[in-house]
Amino acid sequence: MKNLRFEKQRPVAKILTIGDELLKGTVLNTNARFLGSELLRLGFKVDSQIACPDDIALIKTEFSRALAGAQLVIVTGGLGPTPDDVTRDAIADFFKVPLILSNRQLSFIQNHYKARGRKMPALVRKEALFPRNAEPLFNRCGIALGFSISAGERLVVVLPGVPVEMEKMVRELVEPRVRKKFPGLTGRLALIVKTVGISEPEVMKKLGNDFFDDPFEFGIYPMTGEVTLRLYTDCLPIKRRLERKVRARLKKFVYAYAETTLAQEIGKILKRRKKTLAVAESCTGGLLASEITGVPGSSVYFKGGITAYGNDIKEKWLDVPPDILQKKRAVSPEVALWMASRVRAKMNASFGIGITGIAGPSGAGRQKPVGLVYLAVVSPKKRKVWKEFFSGTRSQVQARAAKKALEYLWQGLRNNF
Amino acid sequence: MKNLRFEKQRPVAKILTIGDELLKGTVLNTNARFLGSELLRLGFKVDSQIACPDDIALIKTEFSRALAGAQLVIVTGGLGPTPDDVTRDAIADFFKVPLILSNRQLSFIQNHYKARGRKMPALVRKEALFPRNAEPLFNRCGIALGFSISAGERLVVVLPGVPVEMEKMVRELVEPRVRKKFPGLTGRLALIVKTVGISEPEVMKKLGNDFFDDPFEFGIYPMTGEVTLRLYTDCLPIKRRLERKVRARLKKFVYAYAETTLAQEIGKILKRRKKTLAVAESCTGGLLASEITGVPGSSVYFKGGITAYGNDIKEKWLDVPPDILQKKRAVSPEVALWMASRVRAKMNASFGIGITGIAGPSGAGRQKPVGLVYLAVVSPKKRKVWKEFFSGTRSQVQARAAKKALEYLWQGLRNNF
């Protein structure tokens, strides 16, 4: 879906990801994806992503070609301490400059080891080196130094390949340098729409054909139990028109117009209303609690959770009566409700969630297939239970069930459940 | 780390993935990963992966360059019915041949629509086209035709981008054609080494310089709290020698010689010894339970877990005495031990784990920085507690703490703790 009639000319960016593990298929190239969407947001046109092995000659060839065809080249990976990490050597070699030591980074690394009561291994010193023509970029989540090089009209940025380190550095160190180097760059206007409880084809249907009459860049991203829309345009009236249409057509499925998570949004609501939450999980095995406590500050509203895997734990810790477990079995609406209401009462929380189901691959019985999950939410006023079927592998069923529980809680909170 | 003196000459393969969605970061490039590992298995050396937009000129440029440098080029994506799908045009254009119609594929597509009671949209006819110099590859999971072209010593394979369709076609249609075209091709021997409790530089130091005297392909992959080695060679005596050295030098850190996870290996040991496990978590918030229950069949040995976030929950559910919480505070070795031993006793398990700490970004106090975590493991015979500091973001501290707890449990199990 592209209509570039009204689009500005955009500077070109290329992404070069280094590492044998990418070419051997050992890891997924999440860095290329992250950088693609960040550069789009900043206003670049990314016209190639190249993955290249840990090999000086190949890195130099690909880098040289990338630099010739782009205003911005971002390189990630190959900055580790081992001999196969050769990215910094390749880049210094390309520019015919020596590598020099950052004393600031070296003492940071030394302190890192000291704080752990360990001696710094000699080969780690390499991670404080950068090409003489570069500006060091200080990584504070890990020990590998990044760097950036201003080459005429062009900007080169070299970052470690560890995703959390790279992502933090892009947002904190690279973005300001990019904005400075390309002062005329205007990011595209972005409309972010986070929806839950609706599938990708349903979103498309609800948006309708006339939604695409305006020229804009359209991205639809299905994830576990969620669909995110990211719409980009250079034109404010178009952005406003799109927003109005989205609000009218997807209203009850939108939980945020920003990059956030459902667990985070639920946290905000609970905090604002001074309410608390407790969860009792069986088949999701702690995943729901883990998603809730992944949010900073969740201790304000999250009382705690219990993973009641065995029936004995359900009986002893959640007072599920043995006869209900016997007659209705563990995977039943009755047990889900019992779990939600007992964990709520016993942890003295405003809301309780209970989940019981069959995550698979084994454990299915007659009339109880893998993927069958009962979800219960109990509030001070009401109790509600849902029967769901989730497809996929064990971890997919677990992730979908945990997300669905958050969806029902969010709906409940919105409707003053 | 590569020393190819004694390696067979491997044919070079390049992977070209087409699609705007890849460059905008809309989707993860799982196809590149799948093809990387399949081609490694088949015996190729993959020396680049390129992602390229839906643009005839750019596709032709990248394809031409790939073909010049490789014996095998695999292209995926851009074979759909919409006007932005231009891969087949670009390839036909490159070879200066027209596109011709596969009647067999056309009737397959017509039947596909007929079976669903729908009329075939006119633009779908495009999906039965292939370049005149190509052999059609019939896709039976979807409607886009793939094709392969034998170009002198080289082989070109063009496949649809939908992962399930592409993967099935690779295994059923591409592999036999590749084997026929490259009759001498043999797959590599792999040595997989999963270690825990040792850092990447420490692994390198223990392996020593003489480890690299033999020619083989070396890959070292640090993950949260773990390091994986993947070594590839063509020569069985070399593989055996490497294995002996790894066994001697990394012995106490190796938890498996296979693609597996620490939680899975712990599960196998517990199952074999008919032992059970229960966990009490504070700062990891359910993540440890979630990792344990991510393993299929974990219900056999995992009794359950509790996320005791608030102090009231620690008191009420884990009987932590209020005066200990007052005097020693929640983040203390005493509370970690109390949590581990009470959850073990109350859930009637053989082993108990307790974790309490400060995941951050807030919650730090005097002498208690973000990243401070106490981990306790209690067995029928012993109780042990460790003080740790983890760096990074909230989710990194949580992930590292959970992995460390698994590491200590694994060590305990190995030493008959």
Q: For the domain bounded by B262-414, which CATH number is listed?
A: 3.90.950.20
Question: Is pLDDT larger for residue B143 or for residue A116?
Answer: B143
Cβ-Cβ contacts under 8 Å, B28 against chain A = 28-30, 33
Packed helices A87-95 and A56-68: angle between N→C axes, nearest 10 degrees: 60
CA atoms within 13 A on the CB side of A235: 14
Match 């839906």 to its residue by tokens. Answer: B54
Sketch the domain layout of chain A as residue ranges. 12-181, 189-256, 268-414
**Cα separation of A141 and B10, whole Å?**
38
User: Is the peptide bond between A361 and the residue preceding it cis, with omega within 30 degrees of 0?
Assistant: yes
Q: For residue B2, give the DSSP letter.
A: B
Dihedral angle, C-alpha A265, A268, A272, A278, nearest 10 °: 90
Cβ-Cβ contacts under 8 Å, A50 against chain B = 48-51
**Which of A14, A31, A33 is the best residue to mutate to test the B interface, defined by the most B CB atoms within 10 Å of its own CB?**
A33
Any idea which fold B189-256 has? Answer: Alpha-Beta Plaits (3.30.70)
Question: What radius of gyration, in Å, describes the C-alpha atoms of chain B?
Answer: 28
Secondary structure E strands in A242-284: 254-256, 277-281
Which two tokens mark A333?
A: 């609406």
What pLDDT, on the 0 to 100 scale, is given for residue B398? 97
**Cα separation of A152 and A37, whole Å?**
25
Which residues between 91 and 150 in chain A have a beta carbon less than 8 angstroms from any beta carbon of chain B? 112, 115-116, 121, 123-124, 141-142
Q: Determine contact: A42 vs chain B, CB below 8 A.
A: no
Cβ-Cβ contacts under 8 Å, B308 against chain A = 304
Q: Please give the share of chain B, as a percent, with pLDDT higher than 70.
A: 98
Smallest CA-to-CA distance from A356 within A376, A341, A342 is with A376
**Interval B315-333 mean pLDDT:** 91
Which two tokens mark B111?
A: 């039947």
Cβ-Cβ contacts under 8 Å, B292 against chain A = 285-286
Question: What's phi and psi for B162, nearest 5 deg?
Answer: -65, 120
What pLDDT, on the 0 to 100 scale, is given for residue B393? 87
3-state helix, strand, coil split of chain B in percent (to 5) is 45, 25, 30
Out of 3.30.300.130, 1.10.645.10, 3.90.1150.10, 3.90.950.20, the CATH code matching A268-414 is 3.90.950.20
Q: Determine contact: B79 vs chain A, CB below 8 A.
A: no
Cβ-Cβ contacts under 8 Å, B1 against chain A = 82-84
Cβ-Cβ contacts under 8 Å, B389 against chain A = 115-116
Contacts of B242 (CB under 8 A, 6+ apart): B191, B211, B214, B216, B231, B233
pTM: 0.81
Closest CA of chain B from A242, distance in Å: 19
What pLDDT, on the 0 to 100 scale, is given for residue A222? 73
Cβ-Cβ contacts under 8 Å, B46 against chain A = 23-24
**Cα separation of A48 and A396, whole Å?**
31
- Are residues A101 and A129 in contact, defined by beta-carbon separation less than 8 angstroms? yes
Q: pLDDT 10s digit of each residue in chain A, 417 long?
A: 344 444 557 899 999 999 998 998 878 899 999 999 899 889 899 999 999 999 999 999 999 999 999 999 999 999 999 888 999 999 999 999 999 999 999 999 999 888 878 889 898 999 999 999 999 999 988 899 999 999 999 999 999 999 989 999 999 999 999 999 998 887 788 899 999 999 877 888 899 889 988 888 887 777 788 988 989 888 899 999 999 999 999 999 999 999 899 999 999 999 999 999 999 999 999 999 999 999 999 999 999 999 998 899 999 999 999 999 988 889 999 999 999 999 999 999 999 999 999 998 888 887 888 999 999 999 999 999 999 998 778 988 999 999 999 999 999 999 887
Which stretches of A43-137 are DSSP H helices? 56-68, 87-95, 103-115
Q: Determine contact: B222 vs chain A, CB below 8 A.
A: yes
User: Strand pairing of B72-76 and B12-18?
Assistant: parallel
pLDDT 10s digits, B215-238? 888 878 888 899 999 898 888 999
Contact A51 B52 (CB under 8 A): no
CATH architecture of residue range(s) A12-181: 3-Layer(aba) Sandwich (3.40)
Q: Which of B49, B51, B362 has its CB closest to that of A297? A: B362
What pLDDT, on the 0 to 100 scale, is given for residue B8? 58
**Element spanning B354, H or E:** strand B351-357
Give B57: exposed, middle or buried? Use CB within 10 Å, 0-12, 13-18, 19+: exposed
Smallest CA-to-CA distance from A94 within A82, A104, A102, A86 is with A86
Instruction: Indicate the average pLDDT of chain B.
Output: 92
Question: Is pLDDT larger for residue B221 or for residue B327?
Answer: B327
Which two tokens mark B98?
A: 């027209």
- Are residues B373 and B401 in contact, defined by beta-carbon separation less than 8 angstroms? yes
Question: What's phi and psi for B151, nearest 5 deg?
Answer: -120, 90
- Are residues A281 and A306 in contact, defined by beta-carbon separation less than 8 angstroms? yes
pLDDT tier, B140 (very low <50, low <70, confident <90, very high otherwise): confident
Contact B48 A29 (CB under 8 A): no
What pLDDT, on the 0 to 100 scale, is given for residue A8? 59
- Are residues A255 and A269 in contact, defined by beta-carbon separation less than 8 angstroms? no
**Which of B2, B264, B293 is the best residue to mutate to test the A interface, defined by the most A CB atoms within 10 Å of its own CB?**
B293
Handedness of CA A251, A257, A260, A264 (dihedral sign): negative
Which two tokens mark B275?
A: 């032992």
